[in-house]
Structure 1
Amino acid sequence: MATVPELKRKTCTYSFHREPLTSLIEFSNLVTGGNQKVFVDQYGDLLTLLKMVVDPVPLQTLLQFYDPELRCFTFQDYQLAPTLEEYSILMNVPIRYQVPFLDVPKEVDFRIVAKALYLSIKEVGDNWKSSGDVVGLPLKFLVRMAKEEAKKGNWEAFNAQLAILIYGVVLFPSMPNFVDFAVVTIFIGGNPVPTLLADTYYAIHSRHGKGGAIRCCLPLLLRWFLSLLPTSGPFVDTQNTHKWTQRIMSLTSYDIKWQAYRLNVRSVIMSCGEFHNVPLIGTKGCINYNPVLSLRQLGFVMNGRPIDAEIVESVYFEKRSDPARLEQVGKAWKTIGVKGGAVLGKKFAVAMPDYIDWVRNRVVTLLLPYDRMESLQEQPPLILSENVPAEHYKQALMENRRHTR
């Protein structure tokens, strides 16, 4: 495939460590039949994330395209950014329109912890330990208790203990062999998606340009990325003959799976309180993301170019050490700015020329990490007029002709 030489941005090497999952996978195999449905209904699709094999190569490739100013991944003519709504769908866990996890309580209430984990207050108190500067429960204790509940056939208790193990090891990996109080607090709150997204952005942003370990829910990040890529055709057919970087650089906005399950999204959290974007607090720090850049992923038309000043307003990135920031974000989440089809427009995942030009101009400044490649797939794909609103169909045809000249 021919390449076009041009200046390229510097790349970094990242590492993706996962704790051993053998005992948890053995536990998950016990969740069968009707109990499996009970588990998924209560805790979401945790078992899929647990069993997912994390291939570091696509993640390594993805992170090279991170755009730190806009909190997204900027490719040659499109942008991708994980959203609250996508994480919610992929996990099968609804987002509660309430203040999410902000911080751990100053005092531990063993009664609440015991009730959530189906343990006795004495069991929690006797096994509550400190590890470094945090407190929580040793992994081996929770594994032992889950084994006992499985032997007794107490599946309600077993499900809760397996879920908290997956929270501690897969969703919110912090330290080996330990489930800290922050993870227990998130589990009890039952609204993990905002914290998961916060940890994802924070981990990527904090290591951008430096390389090193990315600590977040890697299976969820990878599942999100793969859900947007072609699942058939030349992109898949060349997986054994071309590098991941070459295959990704061959993709254009026409090749991305913009719709699929995302068409079910009817409303989007666009802002919170005084913020024009969405502030997030994770287990390690504070950050925000810009859902306006992800509307096309969620099936909406990207109509017109974004305005940089409006997008990046109130952007911040910092550790969790500022109580004033925690209070500010907590207050903002009490007024959630949700927008639906009446405001965002009809569902049709297309980008207007102004937006695509805006992305291409941004790439000129930001640079791409790898050489451009000729498209593997025929451009553009077929657009069926009967499935598209008339005004969008006409615009899409004009856009297609513009790109095929």
Structure 2
Amino acid sequence: MDYGRRNTKKYSFRCSDLKELRKLSSFVLDPLNFKQHHVKLLSIFSADVVEGLLSVLVQFYDPIYSCFTFSYYQLMPMLEEYAYRLGIAVSSRVPFSGLEEIPRSHLIAEALHLKKSEIEAHWVKKGGLFGFPSDFLIKEATGFSQASSVDTFESIFVLLIYGLSLFPNIDDFVDVNAIRLFLVGNPVPTLLGDMYFSLHLRNSKGGGTIVCCIPLLHKWFISHFPQTLAFMEKKQCLRWSQRLMSLTNDHIVWYDPSLSSLEIIDCYGELSNVPNIGTQGRINNNPALARRQLGKGRPELGPRICVALEAYTLWVKKRALELKMPYPCERPMSMVVVEPLTLPNQDVEVLEDALAKMKQEKDMWEERFRALSKKHEELQLESKDKDALIELLEDRVTKRQREPKCNPKGFLSRRIPLNTLQTGARRVARGGFPPYLQVGQENCDRHWKLIEFITKMSKVHSSSTS
């Protein structure tokens, strides 16, 4: 079917520099504990946004129904989906209205575990709003992480996520609205309101900069993409506009079973339009159009199925015909035949250089591994030799302790006859040692003392016999 063509509009997106924020994420000492308190915030600001995808998506925005109208279907971000992607339940607290008073310095200091004087010293005005320069908060968070002050670090880190990723407004600045939302702890309705209001405003102006949480919008959109290999393989061969125009009802992932336990908000009292209030303004949308994305959740809507009735499908096609499409129609995705991708020679050379570099690095690490393994084996052998030497020395010490000690008393206790002693003394005098004195040859002084003792005893014996 030919839906006609309408002109595309030039959009851009406010994206804060999150490089320093990603560095701070490496200081999270206990990621599991952090996720329990702040669940999926890390995955939101650390997600890679596919270049060009959202620029194509916003071309399909339908200002009358505040949704994205394609050739065969409609999609719209819903409160329940945003809450699930963030891991933050929609609180029963009153959501952000923009009428809240500016938080007092002692309340901010208490929430961030900082001194009141520090809060007041860095509370400045930029772009018509009060807030904190991001470099001040980054410096404080870095300091407290190095000091292992976990509570203070995480509080400042989460505020930076609110100000730079969830509610980006002014570059390198966390404004008072982000601080209010951080203190209230109910950001989901405001995130949805920011997206709808900014997109609707830029659409009415014919283009411009869309200010909302871009990573969250991107995460929501790709969750409805076909989860098939065929779709992913065409990623490098077809432009995003061609890929989206080739999708039909059957290709879209409509319903996530994880949302089955959530309470659906698809009306405001008796009104089908639900107001969404963001930090910049308010806009209504009609969630009833997206019940299919939640499996027709309410009991009165019937069982949870994602099949569109024929009347609804015809109505969507009629609306697409009225709105016209921003890109030419494409054959359904399953019928598209893609030519093989041929890389330019320059790209091949770059890949070959990268491959050669990786091989060099691989060889270097293997060589280091072999050297360390050899060193390990040498140390093991040296350790075994030392163990054997220690065991040998211990055996010698044990044997030495068991041997009888040689001393004069022990020597005389053998009752050697006196004439034998005298004969031995004469032999010593001539320069030799009898067999029973051989044990002391290593100590000449000791031997001469023994000789003197034998001579003395000989004289005593002679006098006693006479």
TM-score bucket (shorter structure)? 0.7 to 0.9
Write out aligned runs for 1:204-243 (5 A): 204-208=199-203, 210-243=206-239
Taking the aligned partners of 2:5 and 2:202, their CA distance within structure 1 comes to 19
**What per-residue deviation string (whole Å, max 9, x for no partner) do you get for residues 369-392 of structure 1?**
11111112279xxxxxxxxxxxxx
Write out aligned runs for 1:183-198 (5 A): 183-198=178-193
Change (3 A) 1:91 1:266: closer
Change (3 A) 1:265 1:288: farther
Change (3 A) 1:346 1:247: same
Q: Which moved more, 1:136-145 or 1:4-13?
A: 4-13
Change (3 A) 1:6 1:295: closer
Query: Given that residues 81 and 259 in structure 2 are in contact (C-alpha distance below 8 angstroms), is that contact kept between their aligned partners in structure 1?
Result: no
Name the SS for the 1:230 alignment partner. coil
Residue 287 of structure 1: how far off its partner (Å): 0.7
Taking the aligned partners of 2:316 and 2:146, their CA distance within structure 1 comes to 57
Query: Given that residues 3 and 321 in structure 2 are in contact (C-alpha distance below 8 angstroms), is that contact kept between their aligned partners in structure 1?
Result: no
Task: Give the aligned partner of residue 56 of structure 1.
Answer: 51
Aligned length: 335
**What per-residue deviation string (whole Å, max 9, x for no partner) do you get for residues 83-106 of structure 1?**
000000000000013320012533
Which structure is larger by alpha-carbon Rg, 1 or 2?
Answer: 2
Q: Unaligned regions of 5+ residues in structure 2, if any?
A: 337-466
Query: Given that residues 10 and 207 in structure 2 are in contact (C-alpha distance below 8 angstroms), is that contact kept between their aligned partners in structure 1?
Result: yes
Residue 137 of structure 1: how far off its partner (Å): 1.2
Residue 143 of structure 1: how far off its partner (Å): 0.8
Taking the aligned partners of 2:90 and 2:72, their CA distance within structure 1 comes to 31
Query: Given that residues 258 and 296 in structure 1 are in contact (C-alpha distance below 8 angstroms), is that contact kept between their aligned partners in structure 2?
Result: yes
Query: Given that residues 68 and 75 in structure 2 are in contact (C-alpha distance below 8 angstroms), is that contact kept between their aligned partners in structure 1?
Result: yes
Write out aligned runs for 1:46-195 (5 A): 46-103=41-98, 105-195=100-190
Aligned partner letter, 1:126 = A
Task: Give the aligned partner of residue 373 of structure 2.
Answer: none
Question: Match for 2:5 among 8, 12, 36?
Answer: 8
Matched, 1:286 2:282: yes
Question: Match for 1:347 among 295, 304, 329?
Answer: 304
Taking the aligned partners of 2:53 and 2:92, their CA distance within structure 1 comes to 33
Residue 190 of structure 1: how far off its partner (Å): 0.5
Aligned partner letter, 2:274 = V
Matched, 1:364 2:361: no
Question: Match for 2:27 among 12, 26, 30?
Answer: 30
Change (3 A) 1:181 1:277: same
Larger relative CO (CA 8 A, sep 6+): 1 or 2?
Answer: 1
Computed over aligned residues only, the root mean square deviation of the Cα atoms, in angstroms, reads 1.8
Q: Unaligned regions of 5+ residues in structure 1, if any?
A: 301-339, 380-405
Name the SS for the 2:197 alignment partner. helix
Task: Give the aligned partner of residue 203 of structure 1.
Answer: 198
Aligned partner letter, 2:136 = F
Residue 74 of structure 1: how far off its partner (Å): 0.5
Aligned partner letter, 1:366 = L
Query: Given that residues 266 and 341 in structure 1 are in contact (C-alpha distance below 8 angstroms), is that contact kept between their aligned partners in structure 2?
Result: no
Aligned partner letter, 2:140 = M
Aligned partner letter, 2:320 = V
**What per-residue deviation string (whole Å, max 9, x for no partner) do you get for residues 162-185 of structure 1?**
111011111101101211111100
**What per-residue deviation string (whole Å, max 9, x for no partner) do you get for residues 53-77 of structure 1?**
2223110111111000001001111
Identity over the aligned pairs, expressed in percent? 37
Aligned partner letter, 2:8 = T
Residue 227 of structure 1: how far off its partner (Å): 0.4
Query: Given that residues 172 and 217 in structure 1 are in contact (C-alpha distance below 8 angstroms), is that contact kept between their aligned partners in structure 2?
Result: yes
Aligned partner letter, 1:352 = L
**What per-residue deviation string (whole Å, max 9, x for no partner) do you get for residues 290-316 of structure 1?**
11011111122xxxxxxxxxxxxxxxx
Q: Which moved more, 1:41-50 or 1:279-288?
A: 41-50
Query: Given that residues 14 and 168 in structure 2 are in contact (C-alpha distance below 8 angstroms), is that contact kept between their aligned partners in structure 1?
Result: no
TM-score by length of 2: 0.69
Name the SS for the 1:377 alignment partner. helix
Query: Given that residues 198 and 212 in structure 2 are in contact (C-alpha distance below 8 angstroms), is that contact kept between their aligned partners in structure 1?
Result: yes
Residue 107 of structure 1: how far off its partner (Å): 4.2
**What per-residue deviation string (whole Å, max 9, x for no partner) do you get for residues 250-271 of structure 1?**
1001100012345424421122
